[in-house]
């Protein structure tokens, strides 16, 4: 790749848009497609490429100046439906599943002129925090190929960090956008539940799931959210709330902003380098004129337990439809019962089986009230903690993850240790509020560290304001992986 092409992969989304309008979508496509194919041999971030999708923008006859994302390549997580392209959730059980329709977010990207660039690897059915549970091999972190990129949207985050694409879509059920964004040194936004349509997202936990952008900069995330957000009548959980122009919130001014530090998020066992970087981020905000104060979210300690009751119950219900009858893999067998057993035994990986079994157990007769119902009640208490805290502050600032990226295989045989990787992100999904991870520093080993900003429901603008000011003040986003 020539130096000029290399520099083009470092363009911001707005700069790339100018290039695409002047030179055509095909020119931009060729640059990123070549780089993605070369680097994917190392990273395994993409499962499939779909360069044919670029062709429509060359023949539509539309004026590129009317398309706010004309020619912009956007990678798509493997659990989001793209018409005519396999959507398999990185699972063998959905091999060959070709959706006949686009997810609403894909429709909106196409209307804006963006291009579904390729399909990203992930944890199977989004069950994981490391992108190791994929049936097609683990994703590797571009900052250190021996480490995980986080999960479950690890392929999406790695592809953006490695400059294989300009932006990517991920989904976030318990931290699956923000935790990989932290591990890969990029920006990841989990919108408010209901802000972005879930139509066409293959469900994990229906009361948790949200689609959101993963980008290199805060401005890029704002430009993508301007297209993705908004009410969708095809999604019954979609909120009929007006969508602002998020780019108007991108100002370097946080004076008077009240930012809370929840004491429950600075815990024993957290990596000291993570705590140091996050506390330094708080001091940066203080120096810029924000007010920093301590707050409490007392039920946070129950979040992981509640999540792995309620979310696995929803997962068990949602995955019941994958049985070899209509979708994907179908095993040969003499009886229907044998076909079910053989298909699901061969099709689902170990983590998927674990969550199906756990979810079925907590929903079963005699255990529903003891586990699932009690979990929902504690979830309400967690949501009320956030409501109370947000009476005192405008934002809350926390670590995104308790450690930088860990090594591949380090936690594979310890499910509890893996689940605790999301201890700081899960409460956000339980409460349904928006949150963003963005880079706030690097470990001594050169690994990215992310800080998490949380806001009240549908106040993504406040997050964008604070995130942009911090990003421009510190410049951590400018550092690139040593590929």
The arrangement of strands across the sheet holding 210-215 comes to 46-49, 115-120, 73-77, 167-172, 210-215, 187-190, 435-442, 448-455, 395-399, 258-262, 291-295
Residue (of 208, 190, 196) closest to 467 by Cα position: 190
pLDDT-derived band at 27 (thresholds 50, 70, 90) equals confident
- DSSP states of 357-373: HHHHHHHSTTTIIIIII
CA 423, CA 438: separation in Å to the nearest integer? 17
Q: What is the pLDDT of residue 3?
A: 40
Kindly report, residue by residue over 268-307, the tens digit of the pLDDT: 889 999 999 999 999 999 999 999 999 999 999 999 999 9
Report, as residue numbers or ranges, the catalytic residues: 77, 152, 176
Evaluate whether 352 touches 124 at the Cβ level (below 8 Å).
yes
Q: What is the pLDDT of residue 233?
A: 98
Residue (of 37, 134, 42, 130) closest to 79 by Cα position: 134
Q: What is the CA radius of gyration of the chain?
A: 21
Q: What is the pLDDT of residue 416?
A: 83
Kindly report, residue by residue over 164-199, the tens digit of the pLDDT: 999 999 999 999 999 999 999 999 999 999 999 999
Ordered domains of the chain (ranges, CATH): 3-260+392-478 (3.90.1300.10)
pLDDT at 253 over 90: yes
The two beta strands, 258-262 and 291-295, are parallel
Please tell me which of 83-87, 88-92, 95-99 the model is most confident about, judged by mean pLDDT.
88-92
Question: How far from 278 is each of 50, 352, 453, CA to CA, in Å?
Answer: 39, 33, 11
CB neighbour burial string for 383-410, b if at least 16 within 10 angstroms, e if fewer: bebbeebbeebbbbbbbbbbbbbbebeb
CA 467, CA 295: separation in Å to the nearest integer? 20
321-331 mean pLDDT: 89
Q: At what angle do helices 218-228 and 13-23 cross, to 10 degrees?
A: 70
Kindly report, residue by residue over 406-450, the tens digit of the pLDDT: 999 999 888 888 888 899 999 999 999 999 999 999 999 999 999
């Amino acid at each position: 790749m020539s130096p000029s092409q290399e520099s083009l992969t470092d363009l911001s989304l707005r700069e790339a848009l100018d290039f695409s309008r002047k030179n055509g979508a095909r020119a931009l496509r060729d640059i990123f497609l070549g780089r993605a194919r070369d680097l994917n041999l190392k990273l395994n971030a993409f499962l499939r490429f779909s360069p044919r999708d670029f062709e429509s923008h060359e023949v539509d006859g539309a004026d590129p100046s009317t398309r706010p994302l004309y020619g912009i390549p956007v990678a798509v997580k493997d659990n989001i439906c793209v018409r005519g392209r396999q959507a398999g959730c990185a699972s063998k059980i959905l091999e060959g599943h070709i959706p006949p329709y686009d997810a609403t977010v894909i429709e909106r990207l196409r209307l804006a002129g963006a291009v579904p660039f390729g399909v990203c690897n992930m944890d199977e059915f989004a069950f994981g925090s490391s992108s190791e549970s994929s049936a097609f091999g683990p994703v590797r972190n571009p900052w250190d190929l021996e480490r995980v990129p986080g999960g479950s949207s690890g392929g999406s985050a790695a592809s953006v960090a490695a400059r294989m694409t300009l932006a990517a879509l991920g989904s976030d059920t318990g931290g699956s956008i923000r935790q990989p964004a932290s591990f890969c040194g990029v920006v990841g936004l989990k919108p408010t539940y209901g802000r972005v349509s879930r139509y066409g997202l293959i469900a994990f936990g229906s009361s948790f799931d949200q689609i959101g952008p993963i980008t290199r900069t805060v401005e890029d995330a704002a430009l993508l959210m301007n297209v993705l957000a908004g009410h969708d009548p095809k999604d019954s959980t979609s909120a009929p709330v007006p969508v602002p122009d998020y780019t108007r919130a991108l100002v370097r001014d946080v004076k008077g902003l009240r930012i809370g530090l929840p004491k429950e998020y600075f815990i024993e066992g957290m990596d000291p380098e993570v705590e140091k970087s996050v506390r330094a981020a708080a001091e940066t905000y203080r120096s810029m004129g924000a007010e920093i104060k301590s707050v409490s979210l007392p039920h946070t300690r129950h979040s992981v337990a509640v999540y792995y009751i309620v979310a696995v119950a929803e997962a068990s219900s949602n995955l019941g439809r994958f049985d070899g009858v209509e979708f994907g893999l179908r095993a040969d067998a003499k009886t229907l019962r044998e076909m079910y057993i053989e298909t699901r035994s061969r099709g689902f990986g170990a983590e998927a089986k674990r969550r199906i079994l756990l979810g079925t157990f907590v929903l079963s007769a005699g255990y529903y009230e003891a586990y699932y119902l009690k979990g929902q009640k504690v979830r309400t208490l967690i949501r009320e903690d956030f409501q109370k805290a947000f009476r005192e502050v405008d934002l809350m600032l926390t670590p995104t993850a308790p450690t930088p990226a860990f090594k591949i295989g380090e936690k594979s045989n310890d499910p509890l240790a893996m689940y605790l990787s999301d201890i700081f992100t899960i409460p956000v999904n339980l409460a349904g509020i928006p949150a963003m991870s963005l880079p706030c520093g690097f470990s001594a080993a050169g690994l990215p560290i992310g800080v998490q900003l949380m806001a009240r429901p549908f106040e993504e603008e406040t997050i964008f304001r604070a995130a942009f000011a911090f990003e421009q003040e510190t410049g951590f986003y400018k550092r690139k992986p040593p590929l």
